Amino acid sequence: MKTIKFNKYNYIYFVMLTLLCFSSCGEDEVVATCNDGIRNGTEVGVDCGGDCPSCFSCVDGILNGNETGIDCGGDCIPCPTCVDGIQNGIETGVDCGGDCPACPDCNDGVQNGDETGVDCGGSCSACPTCVDGIQNGDETGVDCGGTICPTCTTPGCTDPNAHNYDANADVDDGSCETCTDGIQNGDETDVDCGGALCDPCFSVGDAGPAGGLIFFDKGSFSNGWRYLEYGVEIQNGDRQWGCNIMNSTSFLVGFGFENTESVVNNFNAGNCAESPDAFLACSNLVRNGFDDWYLPSVNELQELYPFRGQLGLAEKRYWSSTELDAVDAFVVDFNGENSDGTPLSYTWYKIPTNGSQGLSAVVAVRRF
- Identify the three-state secondary structure at position 233: strand
pLDDT at position 333, please? 97
**Please, which contacts does 207-212 make with residues 24 or more away whose CB atoms are closer than 8 Å?**
208/366, 208/368, 209/290, 209/368, 210/287, 210/288, 210/289, 210/290, 210/366, 211/287, 211/288, 212/287, 212/365, 212/366
pLDDT at position 245, please? 97
Rounded to whole angstroms, the maximal C-alpha distance in the chain is 194
Interstrand relation of 328-337 and 317-323 (parallel, antiparallel or unpaired): antiparallel
Decide: pTM greater than 0.75: no
pLDDT at position 9, please? 55
Contacts of 342 (CB under 8 A, 6+ apart): 302, 305
- State which residues of the chain have pLDDT below 50: 2, 17, 19-27
How is the chain split into domains, by residue range? 157-201, 232-367
d(CA 208, CA 219): 16
- Residues 34/53, Cβ–Cβ less than 8 Å: yes
Question: What 8-state DSSP symbol labels residue 31?
Answer: P
Q: What are the angstrom distances between the C-alpha of 205 and each of 188, 215, 217, 304, 343?
A: 21, 6, 10, 11, 20
Q: What are the angstrom distances between the C-alpha of 20 and each of 15, 25, 26, 29?
A: 9, 8, 10, 16
Contacts of 270 (CB under 8 A, 6+ apart): none
pLDDT at position 25, please? 47
